[in-house]
Each structure stands twice: as structure tokens, then as C-alpha cells.
Amino acid sequence: MKLVFVYNADSGPVSGLFDIGHKLFSPETYQCGLCSLTHDTFSEKQAWKSFREESAVDMEFLHRDEFEKKYGESHEYPVVLRSNGELDLVLSKNDIDAIGSVEELIGKIRSLVS
């Protein structure tokens, strides 16, 4: 089993710079709840990085353009999917938007895989 995390952002340096600017100047309108939970303005949050590195669960992280190219599917992003031969939605955009902290996200991920 693998968890696939899909960010509501496109890949590439221009998109990355746009995202940084958006986080700095208008964070309340930033449209990727998963990005906000797992990353600060310039880097991955330490609690998330530690969890990700120490977890026995296989995880894949993709931007929406990378995901759609690789899997040929589209969703309302961000999402977390479980890949076990097929892709199953485990956390929707609404689920992710309701999560208040990286610690809460980690708890939800742990409950999904236990």
C-alpha cells in the first residue's frame, strides 16, 4: 500500500515562486491546504519531515500536473489517495481543509494506515 499526496499547485520553478509570493502576501487566500499543513513559506515543516522520514508507509508526493500526467485522473485538490492496485480517495479537499495543524494531519495519516 502507498499513500499518494497531491498538492493543489503545479510543478516547476515559476509555480514555486508564485506559491512563495502567495504565502507571503496573501496567506489567507492560498488554495493548497496540504501545502500549508506540511510546509512553511520556504521549507518543509520539521514535524512533517520527521514523520515522513520515520514512517514505514510508502508515500508519494506530487503536484497536480505531475499526478494527472502519471495517473490520468483529476480531483478537487489537494487530496490524499491510497494506492493498492487502484486509487482510493482517503482525504478529500474538504477533509484536508478542516485539519488545523500538521500534528492533526499526522494523526489522521496514522489512523489510515493502522
pLDDT band with cut points at 50, 70 and 90 for residue 29: low
Q: Indicate the pTM of the whole model.
A: 0.83
pLDDT band with cut points at 50, 70 and 90 for residue 17: very low
- The answer to whether the beta carbons of residues 4 and 67 sit under 8 Å apart is yes
- The tens digit of pLDDT for each residue in 40-87 reads 777 889 999 999 999 999 999 999 999 999 999 999 999 999 999 899
The predicted pLDDT at position 51 comes to 97
CB atoms within 10 A of CB 92: 16
pLDDT band with cut points at 50, 70 and 90 for residue 24: very low
Q: What string of H, E and C letters represents the secondary structure of 71-91? A: HCCCCCCCEEEEECCCEEEEE
